[in-house]
Chain A
Amino acid sequence: MRNWLKVERAKINITQAKLAEKLGVTRQTINSIELNKFVPSTVLALRLAKFFNVKVEDIFFLDDDEQ
Chain B
Amino acid sequence: MKLSNLSSLNENYVKRIGLIFASIFIVMEIVAHITGVIEKLDVQNINIYLLLSLSLAAFSKEKIDDERLKAIRYFSLKLTFNLLIVSLAINYLLKSNIETIYIAISSLIIYLIVFNLANHFNPEFIFKEETKTNKKNIKFLVGIMIFIGIGFLYNIIRALISS
By a beta-carbon cutoff of 8 Å, the part of chain A in contact with chain B is 20, 24-26, 28-29, 31-32, 37-41, 44
A44, B64: Cβ atoms under 8 Å?
A: no
Cβ contact within 8 Å between B66 and A32: no
Query: Cβ of B127 < 8 Å from any Cβ of A?
Result: yes
Q: Which residues does chain A contribute within 8 Å of B68, judged by CB atoms?
A: 25-26, 28-29, 32, 38
Tell me the number of A-to-B contacts counted with CB atoms below 8 Å: 33
Interface centre among B66, B127, B129 (most CB of A within 10 A): B66
Residue of A nearest to B69 (CB): A26
Minimum CB–CB distance from A46 to chain B (whole Å) comes to 13
- B39 at interface, CB cutoff 8 A: no
Q: Which residues of B are found within 8 Å of A41, using beta-carbon distances?
A: 67
Interface residues on B, range: 10 to 19
- Cβ contact within 8 Å between B64 and A26: yes
> What are some 13 contacts across the A-B interface (CB < 8 A)?
A20-B64, A25-B64, A25-B67, A25-B68, A29-B66, A29-B67, A31-B122, A32-B68, A32-B122, A39-B127, A39-B129, A40-B67, A44-B67
